[in-house]
């Protein structure tokens, strides 16, 4: 009888279902004297979407609370506890993951002007009847969740991601130790901890290349990168930590790349390794930093497709035209304003040289760029019996194709379309005498001309986000006179351009 009962217990454990519950909380607003965070809610949303997309949590068992008050969060705690009890009564193996991103203090989380004591969170977490419990806190002083009860802050060498995985018990991960601040990055549009943790979950932390990311792989990847970031930037130290009380030998798998919808295969040339990252379909900016230049590329990830990212597709940009904010990274400056001076020769009518001054606003992509230009110029045509003063107002649109990039200069080809409004005033050498004799003045004439031009040039990138451009753009202008005849003008302009990128 005892043998039969033992076999029944084994069978029931083998065929028990595993149910996972997820609670993700993001809150930008802390106490009244604290500056609101910018990205706690977006960090929480990205964590929620990543775990639903690549994890094994059903959407109807995931809670997402953004900028909710303390009472709403406590209600969700109680609701989750009730669902755990219900599932346990049904014989399920229950695993829960709770993530919090927001303000924190030495002994409480700060939520919408109120304090949620860490003792309350600890008691809730410890009394939950789930088989496996994971708590991840991305907040200042979040290490106080476990240091008050004898936990420890883990260093990188303390974590062995290949054999620390467990099936039962509890794990607490914190973004910083009990006496440290956690950092946000404007450039990453998120906190350092959550940025690296999500990057790891999406495949960057798949150290053993089994297309699965475990809890310890994700934490180790995050810890290493935050330490590297702190060393490079010189910012305040931030040391992620952990506390665990677990038994068993199986891996705690948080995400599986097999659940991904689009993939980027990134070749790390220094290590000669290939990393597969699972991402939502869309357009992405790839960035690689070196001492004097940033190498950038754009990648379009289609649903179900794989895009290879290797050093050959990266194009160099000088450090000066990228902005660093918070030391977390660099952002390319695609916009610019500029002044252009054109020295123009009419190669059809041979009317001499004249100058055109323009201002422009431009956008520079990876292979193509465009600009809108507006300018003013004037010239004078002199003859034996008459001289003509002409004033030009020019509006143009230009497209540029970047043929060759180096960190300090770019060779490009251009094509433009231009509309020119002309005010023309004719004068005779003896105009005063002719008017005295009763002859009328020659009326001022207005007209317009349109044209197309193609050219080539070189842009030199200077320090402090400045640039200088030199190029030529032969242009053919066409207009009609009062008799309906077409008139053609050929312009050979030499461009000198100075501008600022932002």
Q: Which CATH architecture has domain 14-257?
A: 3-Layer(aba) Sandwich (3.40)
Higher pLDDT, 147 or 150: 147
The dihedral through the CA atoms of 427, 430, 432, 434 has a sign that is negative
Higher pLDDT, 323 or 478: 478
Which range of 99-108, 324-333, 345-354 scores highest in mean pLDDT? It is: 99-108
**Residue 22 and residue 134: Cα distance in Å, rounded?**
10
pLDDT band at 181 (very low <50, low <70, confident <90, very high): low
Average pLDDT, the chain: 78
Identify the pLDDT of residue 148. 37
Asked if domains 14-257 and 335-501 share a fold, the reply is: no
pLDDT band at 323 (very low <50, low <70, confident <90, very high): very low
Higher pLDDT, 80 or 226: 80
**Residue 458 and residue 367: Cα distance in Å, rounded?**
14
Q: Which CATH architecture has domain 335-501?
A: Beta Barrel (2.40)
- Phi and psi (nearest 5°) for 350? 55, 50
Q: Report which secondary-structure segment, H or E, holds 433.
A: helix 431-436
Higher pLDDT, 147 or 107: 107
Residue 219 has pLDDT above 80, yes or no: yes
Which range of 182-191, 326-335, 432-441 scores highest in mean pLDDT? It is: 182-191
Q: Which DSSP string corresponds to 214-262?
A: EHHHHHHHHHHHHHHHHHHH-------EEEEEEE-SS--EEEEGGG-SE
Which range of 94-103, 244-253, 488-497 scores highest in mean pLDDT? It is: 94-103
Which range of 12-16, 34-38, 381-385 scores highest in mean pLDDT? It is: 34-38
Residue 434 has pLDDT above 70, yes or no: no
Identify the pLDDT of residue 422. 81
Least confidently predicted of 127-131, 173-177, 383-387? 383-387
pLDDT band at 161 (very low <50, low <70, confident <90, very high): very low
Residue 329 has pLDDT above 60, yes or no: no
Strand ranges (DSSP E) for 4-61? Answer: 18-26
Contact (CB, 8 A) for 184 and 159: no
Residue 165 has pLDDT above 50, yes or no: no
Which range of 168-182, 223-237, 255-269, 307-321 scores highest in mean pLDDT? It is: 255-269
- Structure confidence by residue, pLDDT tens digits, 27-78: 999 888 888 888 889 999 999 999 999 988 888 889 899 999 999 999 999 9
**Residue 465 and residue 112: Cα distance in Å, rounded?**
41
pLDDT band at 325 (very low <50, low <70, confident <90, very high): very low
pLDDT > 90: percent of the chain: 20
Identify the pLDDT of residue 313. 76
Residue that the structure tokens 């993951």 belong to: 97
Question: Whose CA is closest to 341, among 359, 326, 329, 323?
Answer: 359
- pLDDT (mean) for 266-287: 76
Question: Whose CA is closest to 382, among 348, 350, 409, 412?
Answer: 350
Both tokens of residue 421? 């409004």
Identify the pLDDT of residue 217. 92
Cβ neighbours, 10 Å, residue 158: 13
| Cα dihedral: 310, 316, 319, 325 (round 10) | -40
Both tokens of residue 76? 């969700």
**Residue 38 and residue 46: Cα distance in Å, rounded?**
14
Identify the pLDDT of residue 384. 64
Residue 322 has pLDDT above 70, yes or no: no
- Structure confidence by residue, pLDDT tens digits, 420-430: 888 877 776 66
The dihedral through the CA atoms of 104, 107, 108, 113 has a sign that is negative
Residue 6 has pLDDT above 70, yes or no: no
- Structure confidence by residue, pLDDT tens digits, 111-128: 999 999 988 988 888 888
The Cα-based distances of 97 to 13, 17, 153, 268, 358 in angstroms read: 22, 17, 20, 32, 59
Contact (CB, 8 A) for 137 and 104: yes
Residue 197 has pLDDT above 90, yes or no: yes
Q: Which DSSP string corresponds to 19-35?
A: EEEEEEEE----STTSP
- pLDDT (mean) for 387-402: 86
Compute and round to an integer the Cα radius of gyration of the chain.
33
- Phi and psi (nearest 5°) for 75? -60, -40
How many Å from the N-terminal Cα to the C-terminal Cα in the chain?
Answer: 80
Domain ranges of the chain: 14-257, 261-321, 335-501
Higher pLDDT, 75 or 151: 75
Residue 296 has pLDDT above 50, yes or no: yes
SS3 content of the chain, % helix, strand, coil (to 5): 25, 45, 30
Identify the pLDDT of residue 160. 34
């Amino acid at each position: 009888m005892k043998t039969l009962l033992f076999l029944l217990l084994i069978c029931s454990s083998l065929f028990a279902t595993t149910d996972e519950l997820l609670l993700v909380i993001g809150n930008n607003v802390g106490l009244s004297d604290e500056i609101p965070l910018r990205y706690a809610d977006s960090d929480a949303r990205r964590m929620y979407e990543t775990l639903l997309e690549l994890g094994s949590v059903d959407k109807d068992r995931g809670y997402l609370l953004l900028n909710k008050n303390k009472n709403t969060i406590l209600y969700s705690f109680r609701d989750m506890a009730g669902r755990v009890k219900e599932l346990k009564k049904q014989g399920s193996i229950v695993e829960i993951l709770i993530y919090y991103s927001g303000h924190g203090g030495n002994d409480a989380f700060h939520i919408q002007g109120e304090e949620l004591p860490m003792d309350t969170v600890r008691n809730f977490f410890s009394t939950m009847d789930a088989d496996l419990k994971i708590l991840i806190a991305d907040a200042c002083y979040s290490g106080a969740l476990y240091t008050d009860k004898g936990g420890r802050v883990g260093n990188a060498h303390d974590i062995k991601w290949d054999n620390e995985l467990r099936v039962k018990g509890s794990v607490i991960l914190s973004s910083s130790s009990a006496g440290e601040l956690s950092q946000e990055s404007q450039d990453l549009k998120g906190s350092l901890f959550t940025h690296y943790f999500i990057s790891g979950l999406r495949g960057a932390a798949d150290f053993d290349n089994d297309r699965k990311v475990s809890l310890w792989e994700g934490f180790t990847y995050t810890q290493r990168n935050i330490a590297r970031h702190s060393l490079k930037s010189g910012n305040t130290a931030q040391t992620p930590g952990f506390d665990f009380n677990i038994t068993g030998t199986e891996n705690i798998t948080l995400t599986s790349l097999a659940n991904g919808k689009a993939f980027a295969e990134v070749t790390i040339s220094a290590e000669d390794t290939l990393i597969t990252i699972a991402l939502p379909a869309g357009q992405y900016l790839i960035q690689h930093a070196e001492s004097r230049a940033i190498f950038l590329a754009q990648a379009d990830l289609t649903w179900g497709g794989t895009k290879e990212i290797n050093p050959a597709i990266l194009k160099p940009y000088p450090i000066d035209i990228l902005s660093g904010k918070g030391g977390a990274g660099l952002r390319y400056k695609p916009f610019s304003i500029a002044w252009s001076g054109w020295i123009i020769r009419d190669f059809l009518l041979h009317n001499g040289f004249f100058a055109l001054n323009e201002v422009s606003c431009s956008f520079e992509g990876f292979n193509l760029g465009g600009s809108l230009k507006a300018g003013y110029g004037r010239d004078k045509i002199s003859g034996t019996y008459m001289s003509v003063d002409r004033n030009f107002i020019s509006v143009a649109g230009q497209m540029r194709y970047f043929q060759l990039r180096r960190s300090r200069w770019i060779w490009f080809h251009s094509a433009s379309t231009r509309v020119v409004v002309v005010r023309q005033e004719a004068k005779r050498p003896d105009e005063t005498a002719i008017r005295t004799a009763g002859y009328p003045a020659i009326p001022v004439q207005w007209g317009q001309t349109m044209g197309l031009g193609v050219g080539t040039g070189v842009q030199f990138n200077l320090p402090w986000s400045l640039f200088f451009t030199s190029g030529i753009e032969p242009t053919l202008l066409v207009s009609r006179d009062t008799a309906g005849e077409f008139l053609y003008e050929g312009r050979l302009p030499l461009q000198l351009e100075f501008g600022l990128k932002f």
